[in-house]
Amino acid sequence: MTSNGHRRTASPLTTAATVVRLLRSPQIRLLLSLSGKLVTPVYRAAFLTGAASSGVLRRLAEGPADVHALAASLGVQDDTRRLARWLDAGVTLGQLQRRNGTYTLRSRLAKQLARIENDAAAGALEEVVRFHQPVLIDAPRMVREGRSFGLGDQDGSVIARSSLVVQPFIEEAVSRVLDRERPVRLLEIGCGSGVYVRHAAALNPRLTAHAIDLQPEVAEEAARNMDRWGLTERVTTRQGDLRTLAFDERYDLVTLHNNIYYFPEADRVEILARAREALAPGGRLLLTTSCQGGGPSLEVLGLWFEFADFGGPLPVEDELVQQLVKAGFTDVEAHRIVPGEQFRAFVGTNA
């Protein structure tokens, strides 16, 4: 008898012959293969997403912590038991280590995702786990039921962070298009975090800008950033929709980064013509976007927008050039700006 009062027996209930037979069963072999190749990586991705977005990774990057210290940093009041169970799942998944009740980061990915400079990668992982997985899982049912995603099915702040994976390339495109010799009035549509307005403002000290974003919480975050960056004198930041925006002035540069696919394909000429209306004569549009024909994550990004009731597929490079021409732009050019990726900068002039 053990101290718990139950009898422990030496002879196993399952014989060696049964184990061998089970291991030969095609279904058991499939399950073992699924577990190693698919299930565990999916669990790891989900755990790392939760650990990054809750701040647990960053807290552990500062030093070892027990469940009480982690609970305090997460604002958890009483329920440390369930928090510990979740942390222990992270240990089982090889992402955390636990010694004498204290947790540390274990895997290389966990350590990298904990770093503030890798926040865009953490955001991209969260976008994949929270938004790309559902479209892959639910697409057949959504088609059958005639359902679509709405803007509310996306978390604007996660998207604003994950969009920054291409930040160095978009900044390079802004640097090439921006006039630095004269004062410039910039209109940024769908500004996200606002980093590209900040970049343009740093390149041209006489630049003033109006930054808008459709999603109120995104516009609020951008406004807070402008304040933090000391730019409120030069930049106004508002919630706004390109489709209905009244233009109080005309701009020298209009920018749209990573958002042309928020508009249905059939509306794009009209949308681009609206962006042109905002330009002063001779003003330029800079539009950066992922295009069709990229790897799996771009494919699934495009799929999500095809299943959204407001958006459309990623553009095809040549078609977008044609749409810009139809919208009245001249000197339209498309530039490859991310090596090896279907990511392009389109430039057009309001003649």
Footprint of ligand SAM on this chain (CB under 6 A)?
A: 156, 159-160, 163-164, 189-193, 212-215, 218, 240-243, 257-259, 262
The answer to whether residues 193 and 258 touch, using CB atoms and an 8 Å cutoff, is no
For residue 162, the minimal CB distance to ligand SAM (Å) is 8
For residue 163, the minimal CB distance to ligand SAM (Å) is 3
Residue nearer to ligand SAM on the CB measure, 160 or 226: 160
For residue 265, the minimal CB distance to ligand SAM (Å) is 14
For residue 302, the minimal CB distance to ligand SAM (Å) is 13
Tokens 């274990």, located at residue: 106
Token representation of residue 279? 């330009």
Residue nearer to ligand SAM on the CB measure, 227 or 241: 241
Residue nearer to ligand SAM on the CB measure, 103 or 149: 149
CA distances to 109, 211, 250, 345 from 278, rounded to whole Å, are: 44, 13, 5, 19
Q: How far apart are CA 62 and CA 173, in angstroms?
A: 36
Residue nearer to ligand SAM on the CB measure, 184 or 242: 242
Residue nearer to ligand SAM on the CB measure, 241 or 333: 241
For residue 188, the minimal CB distance to ligand SAM (Å) is 7
Residue nearer to ligand SAM on the CB measure, 213 or 265: 213
The answer to whether residues 242 and 273 touch, using CB atoms and an 8 Å cutoff, is no
Helix runs in the chain, H state only? 16-24, 26-34, 40-54, 56-62, 67-74, 80-92, 108-113, 119-127, 133-145, 156-162, 167-177, 195-203, 216-228, 268-277, 296-306, 317-326
For residue 195, the minimal CB distance to ligand SAM (Å) is 7
Residue nearer to ligand SAM on the CB measure, 113 or 160: 160
Token representation of residue 177? 């298009």
For residue 312, the minimal CB distance to ligand SAM (Å) is 12
Residues 6+ apart with CB under 8 A from 111: 61, 105
Q: How far apart are CA 278 and CA 285, in angstroms?
A: 10
For residue 88, the minimal CB distance to ligand SAM (Å) is 36
Residue nearer to ligand SAM on the CB measure, 60 or 242: 242
CA distances to 57, 196, 205, 319, 341 from 188, rounded to whole Å, are: 33, 8, 17, 23, 24
Residue nearer to ligand SAM on the CB measure, 105 or 260: 260
The DSSP line for 258-284 is S-GGGS-GGGHHHHHHHHHHTEEEEEE
For residue 192, the minimal CB distance to ligand SAM (Å) is 2
Cα 91 to chain center, whole Å? 26
What is the CB neighbour count within 10 angstroms for residue 102?
Answer: 14
